Amino acid sequence: MALDLRKLRNIGICAHIDAGKTTVTERFLYYTGKNYKMGEVHEGTATMDFLEEEQERGITIQSAATTCPWDYQGSTYTLNLIDTPGHVDFTIEVERSLRVLDGAIAVFDGKEGVEAQSETVWRQADRYRVPRLCFINKMDKVGADFEFSFKSIGERLGANAVAVQYPIGAGESFEGIIDLVEMKAYYFDASELGALVVQREIPENLRKTAEQWHHNLVEKAADLDDALTELYVEDEASITAGQIKAALRKGTIELKCTPVFCGSALKNIGVQRLLDGVVEYLPDPTEVPEVEGIDPRHKNRETTRPHREDAPFSALVFKVVSDTHGNLTYMRVYSGKLEQKGARILNPSNHKKENVSRIFEMHAKNREPLDAARAGQIVAVIGLKHSFTGDTLCDAQNPIILERMEFPEPVISMSIEPFTNEDKQRLADALTTIRREDPSFQTSYNEDTGETIIAGMGELHLEIVKHKLLRDMKIGVKVSKPRVSYRETITGSASGVRGRFIKQTGGRGQYGDAVIDVCPITAEEAEEQGLESIGGVAFRERITQGVIPREFIPSVEAGVRSAAGSGILGGYPVVNVKVDLVFGSYHEVDSSPLAFEQAGALAFREACKQAGLALLEPIMKVVITTPDEFFGAVSGDLSSRRGQIIESDLRGKVRILTAEAPLAEMFGYTTILRGLTQGRATSTMEPSAYRLMPEKLQNAILARC
């Protein structure tokens, strides 16, 4: 039987760490009947946080998927839900989830409003054009302020926020919500764990406030719909709740507005109305644009796939989890149908055909077998051997390659050393497995020191990897302290630099000759010039008169990129460089791809030396929340770490500092901050940019290389 896509919602929950995403998800599972009891993050019993590390730390580390039903106005809707991490070290989990979702719920702390990671996930959702709802959570928290949080959504995120609810009370007095569309008050019976929703009239002391917010809502809805605009001008009171909802739904799907809800997931207030909002305002798969890709059979011509079961099969792999029974591959099916029995599909990126042996609907770590996967569904399959995160799977007769995901570059690394030869072999296999699961994790081998280097997005990221190796995989390893992943770049330009590789050993020799120009260029500048910047290097060939045969030009590029990857000053990757291949020569007998690859590498190294080399260091955006009395101590400590305060905001007695500081100076900062503020301050960090480091410090780093 075909799936009714109009009654399907693919949604994710994302926010800053500790805003209450997982608690909201647990309430979703309880009220939809998926779970018979509520799990709690602080008790380590949350369904979606099933990893041991997640339960111990009380945070989400990896995204988890589930499917649950919701009854709305007599119809049953299916919600495919992904709960994502809030910690910046695991931003890749948010990135790949948003890539395959049709809608999202952004959760905010009712006291803090928009926080640092809130901005990051919002930008990710903007990049993938994902319609959103906002849920201002923790309205029961002391100091919660709905109007402040609502205002911060517009000011800090640039969103057209439209309040569809208003809280009844705040902090300890928070007891319900006002629906500004219907102008009714809703209370949630505490004795029934909030499952019993009681509708009443709006309290008299809040009627004027509710009427003003309702007026603002109608005004914004009228701006979104031309037909409503005329009605609004003629008679605002004649606009119905249904018309308001229709205008908001249209505006949300077109990314012109963001409806804002409120409540307290922990106190079981407002969650059912939020579920109604998911159905009312977020799109079903037929309401989002057809998925775009390229057809590899016709010189990468652009093509699309409709969200229909009768269209050719296409899906995107967004996550791979290693399992004792084989890799569990998560995919979003965009079009067509995948039968379990004898299903054979194509990975057009590597031209490998894959066999699917089992299809599952996931509920966190539990699996429910399916006989087929249909357009619009998010499923996991077993049997794939050559497909990884970002790969497309499709019908072999109708190939399509969907847009790949962007993965962030690691900013921190550490060396890792196995204790025994047995551990050495097992470590290699384990690192391959982890890298397959987590594209933001990278490994490399240093030929000079014999060290294996692992790199990730932060201290917590690498600590989780270390625990996984030691505790889960039982591999004996010794790890060093984390160290910064620097980059190298050029400070000037160099022209006409020749790289010549000649080798004569008797018989046929090797001959490659390449001349290049180099100059600085950022990834943004490369894009403006129509150049592809891969690994921070934009390569362009400007050969004339056939001085180098066309078949050897890719070899020169490969040599350039290889040299850039291994570094010149201190072994760090070279970035922000444009390379023009302008001249060269060849030998009819002795020239080969290998010779030109070597020539390209030699030319690049020499050109960069002539242009001048310098080190770039990762700069972190740091957001510190501290009692105002410790402002002097915190700001002084930041200055000593080469940090710069960009913004300082006083909210009551609490100071919010936004600063930039080099990662090298911020190791262990959380512990130091606690000491400076008697344990009362908190901080978050996320990568901001790479910048030139002071020459004196650069020399000290290079002296250790």
pLDDT in tens, 513-522: 999 999 999 8
Same structural domain, 24 and 160 = yes
| 241-253 helix and 226-234 helix, angle to the nearest 10 degrees | 140
Share of the chain above pLDDT 90, in %: 43
Same structural domain, 620 and 598 = no
Same structural domain, 599 and 627 = no
Among 428, 456, 485, give the residue marking a domain's end. 485
Query: Does residue 132 or residue 655 have the better pLDDT?
Result: 132
| 241-253 helix and 207-224 helix, angle to the nearest 10 degrees | 50
Is 240 contained in some domain?
Answer: no
Give the span between the Cα atoms of 673 and 321, in whole angstroms. Answer: 36
Of the pLDDT bands very low, low, confident and very high (cuts 50, 70, 90), residue 441 is confident
Average pLDDT over residues 237-244: 90
Residue type, 301: R
* 85 neighbors 58 (Cβ within 8 angstroms): no
Residues of the domain holding 589: 488-611
Is 237 contained in some domain?
Answer: no
Same structural domain, 384 and 497 = no
* 139 neighbors 94 (Cβ within 8 angstroms): no
Among 287, 309, 342, give the residue marking a domain's end. 287
> Tell me, what's the pLDDT at 349?
87
pLDDT above 70 (res 51): no
Average pLDDT score over the chain: 87
CATH assignment at residue 394: 2.40.30.10
Is 271 contained in some domain?
Answer: yes
pLDDT above 50 (res 176): yes
Is 160 contained in some domain?
Answer: yes
> Tell me, what's the pLDDT at 93?
79
pLDDT in tens, 534-546: 888 999 999 888 8
Structurally, how many domains does the chain consist of? 5
Residue 591: C-alpha distances to residues 501, 517, 563, 599 (Å) = 10, 22, 20, 11
* 303 neighbors 400 (Cβ within 8 angstroms): yes
Is 209 contained in some domain?
Answer: no
Of the pLDDT bands very low, low, confident and very high (cuts 50, 70, 90), residue 287 is very high
Same structural domain, 475 and 549 = no
Give the span between the Cα atoms of 274 and 279, in whole angstroms. Answer: 9
Give the span between the Cα atoms of 650 and 570, in whole angstroms. Answer: 43
Please spell the DSSP secondary structure of 115-183, one letter per residue: -HHHHHHHHHHHHTT--EEEEEE-TTSTT--HHHHHHHHHHHH---EEE-EEEES-GGG--EEEETTTT
- What is the DSSP code (8-state) at residue 235? -
> Tell me, what's the pLDDT at 494?
95
Query: Does residue 115 or residue 601 have the better pLDDT?
Result: 601
Cβ within 8 Å of residue 579, ≥6 positions away = 516, 517, 518, 537, 538, 539, 540, 560, 604, 607
Give the span between the Cα atoms of 159 and 121, in whole angstroms. Answer: 13
> Tell me, what's the pLDDT at 70?
93
Give the span between the Cα atoms of 435 and 684, in whole angstroms. Answer: 25
pLDDT above 50 (res 42): no
574 φ/ψ angles, rounded to the nearest 5 degrees: -90, 130
Burial of 424 (0-12, 13-18, 19+ CB in 10 A): middle
Q: Specify the DSSP element, H or E, that contains 609.
A: helix 593-611
> Tell me, what's the pLDDT at 123?
85
Of the pLDDT bands very low, low, confident and very high (cuts 50, 70, 90), residue 40 is low
Same structural domain, 26 and 159 = yes
pLDDT in tens, 359-417: 988 887 788 888 889 999 999 888 888 888 889 999 988 999 998 887 777 878 888 88
Among 450, 467, 485, give the residue marking a domain's end. 485
- Which residue pairs, CB below 8 angstroms and at least 24 apart, start in 2-5? 2/309, 2/374, 3/309, 3/374, 3/375, 3/376, 3/377, 5/284, 5/285, 5/286, 5/307, 5/375, 5/376
Range in 200-209, 526-535, 537-546, 658-667 with the lowest mean pLDDT: 526-535
pLDDT in tens, 454-498: 888 878 888 888 888 888 788 888 888 788 889 999 999 999 999
Same structural domain, 459 and 383 = no
Is 2 contained in some domain?
Answer: no
Runs of H (alpha helix) within 411-467: 421-437, 459-467
Is 227 contained in some domain?
Answer: no
Same structural domain, 366 and 427 = no
- What is the DSSP code (8-state) at residue 472? I
pLDDT in tens, 256-268: 999 999 999 989 9
Residue type, 73: Q
pLDDT in tens, 324-367: 667 888 899 999 999 876 678 999 988 899 888 889 888 877 88
CATH assignment at residue 522: 3.30.230.10
Tokens read off for 599: 């020539």
What is the distance in angstroms between the CA of the first residue and the CA of the last residue of the chain?
A: 63
Give the span between the Cα atoms of 241 and 157, in whole angstroms. Answer: 27
pLDDT above 80 (res 192): no
Same structural domain, 627 and 583 = no
pLDDT above 50 (res 507): yes
Its sign, for the CA torsion 454, 460, 466, 468, is negative
pLDDT above 70 (res 41): no
* 469 neighbors 477 (Cβ within 8 angstroms): yes
> Tell me, what's the pLDDT at 82?
85
